[in-house]
Amino acid sequence: MSTPDDVPDGAAARRERLSALWGADAVRVQAYLWRHTDPDTAQDVLSETFLVAWRRLDDVPEPALPWLLVVARNLVRNAHRAARRRRTLADELAALAASAPLPEAAPEALAVERDALLRGLARLGEREREANLLVAWDGLAPSAAADVAGCSTATFQVRLHRARRRLAGYADGTLDAPGTAATTALRSAASSRRSA
């Protein structure tokens, strides 16, 4: 078992340098982060900033504060981009959920059907989902929807056909994620037909 006296001089010097950086600059980096993000994110980014400093300790110049602030700024930007992507996805799913009409049937059956359709839409590729939504929810004719999608009417018709077929498969459970039992059963049935 090693003791602090057994630690190589290089490792001790690195720890001392990081401790000195923390003592000199952590409060100022944290103040910068509080101005640019919420307190919880600021605390996480402060830790990440000094983790980057530890990993790249040989690259940290003197004075270190400007370098640390650049690292913190980049980490804040990354955190904001990730949060923006999460919000965009949540907003798109909420918009899809809000625009789905509620047919007249038993509430629990409607909830199950609506959930299956929304999950199916979320699993479609972007082009297929857009094709379905342009026609089914925006009420566009395929030729007008093709203009919006930036493709020919024939190409759009193919996308729409594939999207409807996949969505129906997701909704009724005959088409599932790769590797699931339904997909495996479909593949084995198709291969047995080919071999027969």
pLDDT digit string, tens, across residues 72-106: 999 999 999 888 888 888 888 788 777 765 556 66
pLDDT digits (tens, 9 = 90+) for 104-126: 666 766 677 777 778 777 888 88
Q: Is residue 97 part of a domain?
A: no
CATH number of the domain where residue 166 is located: 1.10.10.10
Residue 132 neighbours by CB distance under 10 Å: 21
Contacts of 107-114 spanning 24+ positions with Cβ under 8 A: 113/171
Of the three residues 89, 123, 149, the one that is the final residue of a domain is 89
191 and 110 part of one domain? yes
- Write out the residue range of the structural domain in which residue 18 sits: 8-89
116 and 173 part of one domain? yes
Q: Is residue 1 part of a domain?
A: no
CATH number of the domain where residue 55 is located: 1.10.1740.10
Beta carbons within 8 Å of 174's beta carbon, 6+ residues apart: 182, 186
Of the three residues 89, 123, 158, the one that is the final residue of a domain is 89
3-state helix, strand, coil in the chain (%, to 5): 80, 0, 20
Q: Is residue 94 part of a domain?
A: no
Cα(5)–Cα(13) distance, integer angstroms: 13
| pTM score, whole prediction | 0.46
